[in-house]
Chain A
Amino acid sequence: MKTGSPVLISRADPFPKSLWPRVATVALVVYVIYACAQMEISWERVQTGLANAAHFFARLFPPNFARHELLVRGLLESLQIAVLASTLGILLALPIGLAGARNLMPPWASWPARALIVLARSLHPVIVAILFVKAVGFGALAGVLALTVASVGFIGKLFTEAIEEISSKQVEAVRATGAPFPSVLAFGVMPQVFSRFIGFATYQLDSNLRNSTMVGIVGAGGIGGTLFAAFQRFDYDFVCAILIAIISLIMLGEVLAAGVRAIFIDNATLPELFRRRGLPRRDRLVEDE
């Protein structure tokens, strides 16, 4: 057997310390100190800030639910924006993500698809929402479009990566039976990526739900607009009510997403889902004594 030239290692110290990680650590610490000084973040500044914060938080409580109609209308609109954008985004991301997979598609298909995904990911949803508000006017439509773009970018990218990681052996076997390309996708590719895709989709719904409460700040519909107005009028007790409502909505979404994942990925049935308390116990990789 041929071996390369042996690397000399000191037997007393077989794990030689290298210089560069240390230099990088020192550089990071220096930069953090420099940045604090540059932005005039000092202990006095934090103290005055904290005093102001105490005053603000005191005014948040007790939350005021008097205008609950306005609150519920905003929340429902946010929910609708999230669901519509997720559905539309998933439907668009499926073909685009598939087209981007270089192990299945020729370069003339994968490069444009990848470019589209990068484009959809490059701007923050708030910036995209502002663009759509300018383009199609104030309201929920702009929010739906903005979050659809975000969903296409996120799911498209992860879906492409999931397809590129599949086992080629399983695909090869299906191809060897003389199956046409769409059938190879249905039997060789989809089974390998389906559970991950469900994971991405529920995560994106979750993320859209959060973002849909925010796009309203720039006039793209949903509870965000109400929240922004309440801030500007110093109605801090109403702000608190809105925040509590948003947190409840996100938590509800989290539970729903976990349920969807349990059904599609762990093959749980609905009754099982309600009978069971919490998530299935997972085997831990590390056990203690």
Chain B
Amino acid sequence: MPNSLVIRGLTKEYVPGKPVLSDIDLAFGETCINAIIGPSGTGKSTLIRCINRLVEPTSGEILFDGADLARLVGTPLRQARRHIGMVFQEYNLVERLTVMENLLCGRLGYVSAWKAWRRKFPTEDIERAFQLLDVVGLAGFAQRRADALSGGQRQRVGIARAVMQEPKLLLADEPTSSLDPKTSVEIMQLLADVARSRDIPVLINMHDVDLATRFADRIVGMSGGRVVFDGAPAGLSDAMLKQIYGGEDWLQ
């Protein structure tokens, strides 16, 4: 896989002296579907958000596509973000825009602001948006407003928007936590299909361990802001889960 992401010594402190992430070293690129599991508040979201700099890292390096993402500012940062698609827990669609406009948001990094204001997107972008709507199973929804969709439909739009960016890396911050079990599986399947067909790594934060072991090639277990497990799902023993989440009653 050509697109590798190397994280070295990543630390994030929202409050000085209280690191949420301490000295994280991780490399992605060998495997396609990477699930990050761990209890709430352990810094999974922060880790994902440091990569595309929705959160500012305190120290460390994030090497991707020949640049240290942690150091970029201004235009180079925006250009790096174009290649990193992100899927959110609460979909984060622009509610009052149509599905088509939400998809085209994925092209905003490539289109001048003047053209974006007048909704003058290149024909091939619009064409691809329609194709993607077919792929995610929302053909015919282009003119529907985002706030008229169900949760599962919204997340499909969210994934399509990320794919519109032609990303070299996909980040997903608990993409199934707001969805019912059946839709969760469908959304995970869609994410996996998209990532595999494009041969790009995807980093998925999740709470559902069963869903993670079912879809992921690799699982990163975090606890207390550190990586405590890193390997194939098969290696994730009950003892390991106990170490990640603490306690054991929930494993029964």
Contact = CB atoms under 8 A, between A and B. Distances in A.
Interface size class of B (residues with CB under 8 A): 20 to 34
Nearest to B87: A173
B11 interface: no
Interface in A151-206: 167, 169-170, 172-184, 186-188, 191-192, 194-195
A176 B162 CA distance: 9
B78 A178 contact: yes
Contacts of A173: 86, 88, 92-94, 105, 158, 161
A168 to B, nearest CB: 9
Interface of A: 167, 169-170, 172-184, 186-188, 191-192, 194-195
30 contacts: A170-B92, A172-B54, A173-B88, A173-B92, A174-B105, A176-B52, A176-B81, A176-B86, A177-B81, A177-B106, A177-B107, A177-B109, A177-B165, A178-B79, A178-B80, A178-B83, A179-B105, A180-B78, A180-B108, A180-B109, A182-B116, A182-B117, A183-B108, A184-B108, A186-B116, A187-B101, A188-B94, A191-B97, A192-B95, A195-B96
Contact of B90 (A169, A174, A179, A184): A169
Contacts of A174: 94, 105, 108
B82 interface: yes
Given A175-B54, A177-B105, A191 B82 contact: no
A29 B161 CA distance: 62
A20 to B, nearest CB: 38
| A173, A174, A184 interface centre (most CB from chain B within 10 Å) | A173
A174 B114 CA distance: 16
Given A178-B81, A183-B111, A183-B116, A170 B54 contact: no
A214 B82 CA distance: 55
Given A187-B97, A187-B116, A172 B92 contact: yes
B111 A178 contact: no
